[in-house]
């Protein structure tokens, strides 16, 4: 019974050969000996069975015929055939539409991302911050004048400049850099106070802000998020970033770097809160007044020497690490980084020039693998403080860890002049020094 119905419906809707009126379709099985119901397409009445099981029909009122409610015109039938030739099926239409909509939505999202990136690049046009540029011009021009005045100054003034440069340098390297930026060791309260004081003499912003930008520099080195991205050129990496508006990505990353450890350090936060008066006292008044008060140095001369010249010297030496030590030198530990080994910078910056090593192992309190205290004064200072009990928890890198990284990623210069030169080289298949993992892979290839 149902088979007949399905076949008739299937022939009609999927092949377009017949049109069916469900009201005229008999759902009962044919009775042997009886005439089959009228051909599909016309019906003279509603089909039913009488009490004897014979067919009977009820005439349509007024003698009319039931019309085909699903009767298709020739145009409609042709349309069905065309759709059939195209592989169209009604039940698949919704899924095709959904897939097209999803694809269109993904394309729109991709286009929005591309437009946003392009808009960001177009919108970022670095602007000069004129007050900062004016300050840098004043410092550097005044430094040249201070250098000229140094030839006529008291010899004690020259010694005083050396002392203040060294002390402020320790504030940068052992304080803001190795302690507060990288947590490479822990310092007692007296040592943290001393380092905060020394860093205030340097005058390079407060330690919290300095460490924040330095952590971003390491985390996103040589990208748009790097505050002094060396890919933008020597001048920008060295000093230009100080008076140009930062890239929007730098501003964004300043909000996500974890600074909770410094926020919990009372000394660091005190120095940040009172940075302006501390800068005035420690970086200007104290260095300038001491020569004038104790050995009658000319106050005018002392200002240009002990503020402008000293401040500018310290600033440029510190920023040689951002420029020179990211552009010139070997890369023994990771050839894929821009940071390099620059001994001359280490000499001037108290051990901060072993920069390829430092970017690979930023938690090492020594910031370098080789060199004695003459090329790494800061390490000597931290070791001395540890001997006094003021510093502890000095973190370093094992020789095996250094060698593994140098062999894997270095430019090869690490092994050219020491006892490890060519240690793991092999003469060919069968050499006992072939790494085990290579032997296993060779065996698989031969099989």
Indicate the domain borders of the chain: 2-85, 130-415
Which range among 33-42, 213-222, 387-396, 400-409 shows the weakest confidence by mean pLDDT? Answer: 33-42
d(CA 415, CA 410): 9
d(CA 79, CA 77): 5
- The pLDDT value recorded for residue 235 is 96
Would you place residue 7 in the very low, low, confident or very high pLDDT band (cuts 50, 70, 90)?
A: very low
Nearest to 45 by CA among 70, 21, 19, 14: 21
Task: Report whether pLDDT(47) > 50.
Answer: no
Which range among 65-79, 290-304, 334-348, 363-377 shows the weakest confidence by mean pLDDT? Answer: 65-79
Q: What is the pLDDT of residues 383-441, one digit of tens each?
A: 999 999 999 999 998 888 898 899 889 988 888 776 666 666 777 777 777 878 888 88
Residues 6+ apart with CB under 8 A from 306: 146, 157, 160, 161, 164, 287, 288, 290, 291
* pLDDT cut 90: percent of the chain above it: 60
- The pLDDT value recorded for residue 303 is 97
CA neighbours closer than 13 Å in the CB half-sphere of residue 268: 21
CB 354 within 8 A of CB 346: yes
**What does the angle CA 91 – CA 95 – CA 96 come to, to the nearest 5 degrees?**
105
């Amino acid at each position: 019974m149902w088979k007949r119905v399905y076949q008739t419906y299937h022939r009609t809707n999927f092949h377009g050969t017949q049109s069916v009126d469900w009201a005229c379709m008999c759902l009962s099985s044919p009775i042997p000996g009886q005439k089959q119901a009228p051909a599909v397409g016309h019906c003279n009445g509603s089909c039913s069975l009488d009490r004897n099981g014979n067919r009977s029909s009820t005439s349509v009122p007024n003698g009319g015929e039931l019309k085909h409610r699903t009767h298709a015109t020739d145009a409609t039938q042709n349309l069905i055939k065309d759709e059939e030739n195209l592989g169209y099926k009604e039940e698949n239409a919704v899924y095709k539409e959904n897939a097209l909509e999803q694809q269109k939505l993904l394309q729109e999202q991709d286009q929005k991302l591309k437009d946003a990136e392009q808009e960001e690049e177009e919108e970022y046009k670095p602007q000069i911050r004129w007050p900062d540029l004016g300050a840098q011009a004043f410092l550097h021009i005044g430094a040249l004048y201070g250098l000229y005045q140094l030839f006529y100054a008291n010899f004690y003034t020259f010694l005083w400049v050396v002392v203040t440069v060294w002390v402020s340098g320790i504030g940068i390297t052992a304080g803001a850099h190795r302690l507060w930026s990288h947590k490479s060791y822990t310092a007692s309260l007296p040592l943290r106070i001393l380092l905060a004081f020394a860093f205030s003499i340097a005058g390079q912003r407060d330690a919290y802000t300095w460490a924040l930008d330095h952590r971003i520099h390491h985390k996103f080195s040589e990208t748009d998020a790097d505050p002094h991205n060396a890919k933008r050129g020597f001048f920008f990496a060295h000093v230009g970033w100080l008076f140009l508006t930062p890239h929007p990505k730098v501003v964004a990353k300043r909000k996500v770097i974890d600074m909770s450890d410094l926020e919990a350090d009372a000394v660091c936060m005190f120095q940040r809160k009172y940075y302006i008066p501390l800068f005035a006292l420690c970086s200007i008044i104290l260095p300038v007044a001491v020569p004038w008060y104790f050995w009658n140095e000319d106050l005018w001369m002392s200002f240009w020497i002990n503020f402008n010249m000293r401040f500018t010297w310290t600033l440029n030496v510190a920023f040689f690490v951002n420029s020179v030590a990211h552009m010139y030198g070997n890369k023994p530990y990771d050839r894929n980084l821009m940071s390099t080994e620059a001994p001359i910078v280490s000499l001037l910056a108290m051990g901060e020039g072993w920069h390829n090593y430092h970017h690979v192992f930023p938690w090492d309190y020594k910031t370098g693998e080789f060199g004695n205290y003459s090329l790494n004064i800061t390490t000597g200072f931290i070791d001395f403080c540890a001997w006094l009990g003021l510093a502890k928890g000095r973190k370093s890198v094992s020789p095996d860890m250094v060698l593994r990284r140098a062999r894997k990623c270095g430019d090869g210069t690490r092994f050219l002049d020491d006892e490890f030169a060519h240690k793991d080289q092999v003469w060919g298949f069968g050499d006992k020094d072939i790494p085990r993992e290579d032997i296993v892979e060779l065996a698989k290839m031969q099989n």
